[in-house]
Structure 1
Amino acid sequence: MNARWAQIALLVAGAVLVGAVLTLEVYFNTRATHGAADLIDIAIPQFGRAAMWAALVPLILRLRELVPLARGTWAGGMSFHLAVSFGVMAVFYLGRMWAYTLWFEPTWPEGFWRMALQNFYGRNIIDMTYYWAVIAFGYGLEYHQRYKDEELKASQLETRLVETELQALRQQLHPHFLFNTLNTIAVLVRERRSEDAVNLIARLSALLRLSLDQRGVAEVTLQQELEFIDHYVEIQKVRFSDRLTVQQDIAPEVRSARIPHLLLQPLVENAIVHGIAPKSGPGRLEIAARRSGADLLLEVRDDGPGLPDGRMRAKEGVGLCNTRERLARLYGARAQLSLQTRPGRGVCVQVVLPYRADSGELRVQS
């Protein structure tokens, strides 16, 4: 309904503008040729002329749809609209003379039709120009709508493509994680640690149930992600026994921040596999989170052997590569993932992404 009234308002505004332009043109031309002119007498027929054109706009637009200019390889469509525009111009011209007769009651010594022929002048062709202007306006609206439709389709296609890519990246994490966990279970079985293997299977089942509960969710709160990490760490502690210590330094105000689902898990797994596992003694893993202005800063640090600077990117496995790609897809240049190594003292993975509280709406359904 609002769109309908907006179209009517636009049509009325256009008619008023055309009427004003015609009135001023005729008024100043009359003053230049006759020295005097009555603005009201000039305005009435000119605004009437504009009003008639405004009333015909819907009809002309409908004719354009029914008989496009390209009908019959252009010849048919062009001929049709040329004939109609000439007919409309003639009707307008004769209608104005007839209205002038009724309004001012002039006398036509030579008869109405002879006077109509004698008073016809080239400027009446402007009525044909109005007709074609409406035709052009109709095509302009059509092309604009096509452009908007194509733009919408392209946007929807891009969104679906990003969703598909994000889903593919996320799904790569699950087999990677499951492979490592099942390998741990196999080691426990070979070592005849049956009770530990059963406990690990039970914890893996609980973790997978939690993961399924969050299926189809692009983002979770940091608190929810940390709860997932707690379950994951419990599984890893079965493998490392007392050698693995995990500390958290989480600012209270960022626990409600929204982050991509399974953002921290591959970072923690990478730190355990490449930082804690190679050590012969106890290892410590730290998870930190704080807010810095409009950004959320996340850090996962281990106290492992670290890496030479030249091997930083070379050591990025599936987890880190997918995490970097997911951040790029979700946040573009607003998110960063960086590695800092301390030879002999471990590696720190830092993630910077826009801070968004739990009221955020960003979702990408699986």
Structure 2
Amino acid sequence: MRVFPRYSSPSIAPVPRLRWRTVFGVWTIIGVLLVIQTYITAFGSLPVTLRGHGYTIAAQLARAWLWAALTPGVFWLRRYLAANHPHLAVRLALHLLAALAIFTFGNLLRLWTIYFAFGYFRPEDASPSFVLTQLDARSLIDLYLYALLVAVGYIADLMAQRRDDERREEMLRVQLAQAELAALRQQIQPHFLFNAHNAIAALIRERENDKAVEAITQLSALLRQLMEHAGRPEIELWRELDYAQAYLAIEKLRLEERLVTRFLVDDDCLDVMVPTLILQPIVENAVRHGIAQRRHPGTITLRARRAGLRLELEVTNDASEFAESTSRGRGVGLGSTRSRLERTFGRALHFDCAFNQDGRSRVTLSFPVRAPSTAPETAPA
């Protein structure tokens, strides 16, 4: 059974992983837009020298790249405040303080770095009066950028939480489907054993001791095969055919010449993976509600072939001469089999039952071909 990861607490929101190339690229684009905005709003007042143009471009790109470096910290602060301060007013006040701190120290660090790089720095540029003159209305763009970054972080976390919820819901749906399939499979196996033991008990009551011993031997061999593949939701078709043949062999000891079996199986579908114990309940249903109710010999025919990318299976049997018996031909095993297939293949499944039509009953099903997950074993001759 496939094991899925578990989460320690559904209340902890997943932290989306930051991609530095994406962060750097986005902020570089914003920096270019800021450069264009600067030239538009201050057209005619900017220096026309190459050095002056370089300073203007570097100043805005430095602002953008500074924010790129601050992005992880702002994202972390938003998550921290959301987790530790439930009151909106408190969070807004703390965000305002953080924005003002970045507004002040971020701009000073950016300006002093640019001044040093272009040779504009003077000792008086470190004075409080210079600091106040630089923190003018043009620098308010940093407050807007902080608000934008907080909003982007909130949206990114919200989307990550939504993806995590969807992923968790999908895992729960898969686990539920697996549990339902396992329950149905466990329902079929006791049902099969009950009927097999009834067949052996009937031989004993009829004092057919040799046949009863042979039937027990064949049932033991069949149970050994089932135990070898216990827990496997799917097996190769040829193994499933072996199960059906073993069950029919047990029934034939009881019904003798009243039961005739035919297997018409194409070689190219023997290694196709099918749900475990998917044929045996259908065959069992054909015996109990068809052949066993007849006064004359009857034939069960099992056909298997590939049709493109689908596997087609058909089980037909001569119906009972008693209409009321064949009308009851939908047993527990057949219903569970259909439910398992519907949960496994969904709308891709074609399943049809026709009972006592023109003296025959037929169960047909087809579903997409599933290749074996490992190297297939050689099917027995």
TM-score by length of 2: 0.84
- Residue 172 of structure 2 is matched in structure 1 by 157
Give the whole-Å Cα distance in 1 for the aligned partners of 2:55 and 2:322: 92
TM-fit CA distance, 1:66: 3.4
Structure 2 match to 1:22 = 34
Q: Is the aligned partner of 1:11 residue 2:23?
A: yes
- Give the secondary structure class of the aligned counterpart of 1:277: helix
**Superposed, which structure 2 residues align to 1:85-104 within 5 Å?**
85-99=99-113, 101-102=115-116, 103=118
Listed one character per residue, the Cα deviations across residues 317-339 of structure 1 (whole Å, up to 9, x for unaligned) are: 11111111001100101012101
Q: Deviations over 1:268-325 (max 9, x none)?
A: 111111121121111111000111122111000112248979x86x642111111110
Q: For residues 114-154 of structure 1, what are the alpha-carbon distances to aligned partners after superposition, in whole Å with 9 as ceiling and x for unaligned? A: 46545654342220122222222322232223222222221
Query: Structure 1 residues 21, 267: CA separation in 2 closer, same or farther (over 3 Å shift)?
Result: same
> What is the alpha-carbon distance in structure 2 between the residues aligned to residue 65 and residue 13 of structure 1?
23
Task: Give, in whole Å, the separation in 1 of the partners of 2:31 and 2:144.
Answer: 15
Is structure 2 residue 230 aligned with structure 1 residue 215?
yes
> Quick one: distance in 2 between partners of 1:26 and 1:228?
80
Of 281-290 and 314-323, more deviation after overlay is shown by 314-323
Letter in 2 for 1:24: I
Equivalent of 2:66 in 44, 52, 70: 52
Q: CA 1:175–1:33 in structure 2 vs 1: closer, same or farther (change >3 Å)?
A: same
Aligned to 2:11: none
Q: CA deviation at 1:106?
A: 8.0
Matched, 1:339 2:339: no
Q: CA deviation at 1:85?
A: 0.3
For residues 74 and 154 of structure 2, the distance between their equivalents in structure 1, rounded to whole angstroms, comes to 12
Query: CA, structure 1 residues 188+88, in 2 after alignment: closer, same or farther (shift >3 Å)?
Result: same
Aligned pair count reads 356
Report Cα offsets for 1:197-233 as digits up to 9, x if no partner.
1221121111111111111111111111111111111
1:306/1:262 Cα in 2 relative to 1: closer, same or farther (>3 Å)? farther
Alpha-carbon distance in structure 2 between the residues aligned to 1:110 and 1:243: 109
Q: Secondary structure at the match of 2:19?
A: helix
Equivalent-residue separation in structure 1 for 2:207 and 2:323 (angstroms): 38
- Segments of 5+ residues of structure 2 without an aligned counterpart are 1-15, 376-381
Q: Is 1:197 matched with 2:208?
A: no
Alpha-carbon contact 2:315-2:363 (below 8 Å) kept: yes
What is the alpha-carbon distance in structure 1 between the residues aligned to residue 262 and residue 132 of structure 2? 99
| Contact preservation (8 Å) 1:307, 1:343 | no
Q: Does 1:328 align with 2:342?
A: yes
Is 1:260 the counterpart of 2:275 in the alignment?
yes
SS at match of 1:16: helix
For structure 1, the 5+ residue unaligned runs are 362-366
User: Helix, strand or coil for the counterpart of 1:31?
Assistant: coil
Residue in 1 aligned with 2:6?
none
More displaced 10-residue stretch of structure 1: 134-143 or 180-189: 134-143
Distance 1:165 1:111 in 2: 73
Q: Name the stretch that deviates more: 323-332 or 12-21.
A: 12-21
Paired residues for 1:33-48 under 5 Å: 39-48=53-62
Please give the per-residue CA displacement for 1:239-274, whole angstroms capped at 9, x wherever unaligned. 111221111111111111111111110111111111
Q: Distance in 1 between the 2:322 and 2:67 partners?
A: 79
Aligned-partner residue type, residue 21 of structure 1:
L
The RMSD of aligned alpha carbons is 3.0
- The answer to whether the 8 A contact 1:70-1:76 is kept is no
Residue 282 of structure 1 corresponds to: 297
- Cα distance change, pair 360–335 in 1 and its aligned pair in 2 (3 A): farther
CA contact (8 A) 2:294 2:321 kept: no
Matched, 1:224 2:239: yes
Question: Structure 1 pair 258/97, CA: closer, same or farther in 2 (3 Å)?
Answer: closer
Q: Which residue of 2 aligns with 1:187?
A: 202
Structure 1 position 74 matched with structure 2 position 88: yes
Instruction: State the TM-score, normalizing by the size of structure 1.
Output: 0.87
Structure 2 contact 312–365 (Cα < 8 Å) conserved: yes
Contact 1:305–1:343 (CA under 8 A) maintained in structure 2 = no
Verify the 8 A CA contact 2:329 2:355 in the aligned structure 1.
Answer: no
Aligned residues of 1:307 and 1:342 also touching (Cα < 8 A): no
Match of 2:151 in 1: 136
